[in-house]
């Protein structure tokens, strides 16, 4: 699958969460282009533009090693490390980075990108920091899986590429509805959401599948590619609450994964 701007947004959001969870002052990353090359497109906390648009080749430097091995890699002093090659010392030194970790974003056994976290001092990066970076990468992986499935459905389902925009609009409207105080206006907005779902060609809600409004809200966000954290921000609830609604919806839809839940909800007429 080819990365697009919405995929880059997921990387950007994951970097912000990585910094908040670890306290690391710098985070950056990007997605693979043409299989072996990754372009660093997203920067958070950097003081220079030295790393922007840097192209990293599989096997080279810390990120390239991470791509080649498909596992996290860490160095305590980047420029002095004997564990990596040093093609990118100049931009790393220009940014003043010393201790750096890199975590792969892996979707269906294929590396799709890398997230980095870094300190400007040479000191060990503990397991807690690495665990937080891995969790941030998992968030991106889950979002990419859903987006890939949405693109596949749009390309092969006869609905056309325009349905991705319809689904994003549907998710935005569902997230907006609970914030509207006027009950008539809120009902009218939810009616428009139902029309969008009906126009998708689905047969309408299956008689034995009844979803609560908040379950539909969460599924709409997931269908648009949002992670649990992003869905929580959009809906004004906690990430744990989002997980609870998602688990409940998956149980009702008899889905084992987030992607299966989205597909089942579309087939039942709950989502466009």
* Segment 67-111, tens digit of pLDDT: 999 999 999 999 999 999 999 999 999 999 999 999 999 988 899
> Which region among 5-14, 38-47, 126-135, 206-215 has the lowest average model confidence (pLDDT)?
206-215
pLDDT at 198: 63
The three-state secondary structure class of 172 is helix
Residue 223's contacts (CB-CB under 8 Å, 6 or more residues apart) are 146, 150, 167, 170, 171, 262, 265, 266, 271
Decide if pLDDT at 1 tops 70: no
Q: Which of 72-86, 127-141, 175-189, 257-271 has the lowest mean pLDDT?
A: 175-189
The percentage of residues in the chain with a pLDDT greater than 90, rounded to a whole number, is 48
Q: Residue 157 and residue 163: Cα distance in Å, rounded?
A: 10
Average pLDDT, the chain: 84
Region of poorest pLDDT, from 147-156, 201-210, 211-220, 254-263:
201-210
Neighbours of 224 (CB within 10 A): 27
- Over pLDDT 70: what percentage of the chain? 85
Q: Is 150 exposed, middle or buried (0-12, 13-18, 19+ CB in 10 A)?
A: buried
Question: What mean pLDDT do residues 243-259 have?
Answer: 90
pLDDT, position 9 = 83
**Model confidence over 144-190: pLDDT tens digits?**
876 676 666 555 544 445 666 677 777 777 877 777 777 776 777 77
Residue 121, number of CB atoms within 10 A of its CB: 12
Specify the pLDDT at position 30.
95
| pLDDT for 205 | 43
As given in the structure block, the two tokens for residue 126 are 């503990």
Which pLDDT value is given to residue 113?
A: 95
Task: Please name the residues in contact with 81: beta carbons below 8 A apart, sequence gap of 6 or more.
Answer: 62, 75
Q: Is the pLDDT of residue 202 over 70?
A: no
Q: Do 171 and 230 meet the contact criterion of CB atoms below 8 Å apart?
A: no
Asked whether residue 209 carries a pLDDT value surpassing 70, the answer given is: yes
Q: pLDDT at residue 131 above 90?
A: yes
Q: Contact, 255 vs 142, CB < 8 A?
A: no
Q: Is the dihedral of CA 229, 230, 233, 237 positive or negative?
A: negative
What is the number of other CB atoms lying within 10 angstroms of the CB of residue 64? 23
pLDDT at 124: 92
Model's pTM, two decimal places?
0.60
Q: Residue 30, class by beta-carbon neighbours within 10 Å (0-12 exposed, 13-18 middle, 19+ buried)?
A: buried
| pLDDT at residue 196 is higher than 80 | no
Task: Specify the higher pLDDT residue, 30 or 271.
Answer: 30
Q: What is the pLDDT of residue 204?
A: 46
Q: Tokens 């009950």 map to which residue?
A: 183
């Amino acid at each position: 699958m080819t990365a697009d701007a919405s995929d880059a947004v997921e990387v950007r959001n994951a970097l912000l969460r990585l910094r908040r969870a670890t306290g690391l002052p710098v985070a950056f990353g990007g997605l693979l282009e043409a299989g072996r090359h990754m372009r660093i497109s997203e920067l958070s906390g950097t003081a220079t533009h030295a790393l922007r648009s840097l192209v990293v080749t599989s096997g080279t430097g810390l990120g390239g090693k991470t791509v080649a091995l498909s596992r996290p890699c860490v160095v305590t002093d980047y420029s002095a490390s004997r564990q990596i090659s040093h093609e990118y010392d100049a931009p790393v030194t220009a940014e003043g980075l010393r201790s750096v970790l890199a975590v792969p974003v892996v979707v269906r056994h294929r590396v799709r990108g890398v997230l980095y976290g870094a300190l400007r001092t040479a000191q060990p990066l503990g397991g807690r920091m690495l665990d937080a970076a891995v969790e941030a990468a998992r968030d991106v992986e889950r979002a990419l899986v859903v987006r890939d499935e949405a693109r596949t459905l749009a390309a092969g389902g006869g609905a056309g590429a325009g349905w991705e925009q319809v689904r994003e609009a549907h998710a935005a409207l569902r997230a907006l509805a609970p914030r509207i105080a006027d009950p008539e206006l809120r009902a009218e907005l939810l009616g428009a959401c139902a029309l969008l779902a009906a126009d998708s060609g689905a047969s309408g809600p299956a008689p034995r599948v009844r979803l609560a409004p908040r379950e539909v809200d969460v599924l709409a966000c997931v269908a648009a590619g949002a992670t649990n954290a992003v869905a929580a921000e959009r809906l004004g609830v906690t990430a744990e609450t989002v997980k609870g609604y998602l688990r409940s919806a998956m149980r009702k839809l008899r889905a084992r994964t987030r992607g299966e839940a989205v597909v089942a909800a579309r087939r039942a007429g709950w989502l466009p």
